[in-house]
Amino acid sequence: MLNWYAVLKYIHLVSVVIWIGGLLGLVIATWKVAREKDRVLLATLLKQTNAYAQGVAGPAAGFVLLTGLTMVWLGHIGFGTFWVWFGYGGVLVQALVGGFLIRTRSIKLLELASSPSGDDVALAAASRRLRNAQLIYFLLFAIVTAGMVIKPTP
């Protein structure tokens, strides 16, 4: 049955796919390029990934939050439900990790990759730091997704 809740759920899920799916694809491509040590390609890819994160993934995450809030209200689920707070907390933590930790590490790696006579050791270390932050980000997403699918309620 098509109703507002179903429409919002659809928008919610499509927004998650755009947000996380797009970022995951770009992140995997970045990891591969970083291993090849092609500074020009890495710098170009990092610029595009940053643009996608700010222009597409960020707004998609906002849609996830807004549609989630609206579904809780329309579905009379209750804002005090554990898995609802778990989802809100997950979005908040991911915004902090993505907006601060990953962004700053990505900018640092971009600076190093853009330097024509850059230090390969520093580039590799910065690439590892960014990769580790991205792994934490996607692990957090997997945990939050599990909570949203399983919906553990006392």
pLDDT by residue for the chain (154 residues), tens only, comes to: 789 999 999 999 999 999 999 999 999 999 999 998 889 999 999 999 999 999 999 999 999 999 999 999 999 888 888 888 888 888 889 889 988 999 999 999 999 999 877 788 999 999 999 999 999 999 999 999 898 888 877 6
Q: Is 77 helix (H, G, I), strand (E, B) or coil?
A: coil
**Can you give the pTM of this predicted structure?**
0.86
Answer whether 94's CB lies under 8 Å from 103's CB.
Answer: no
First to last CA, the chain: 29
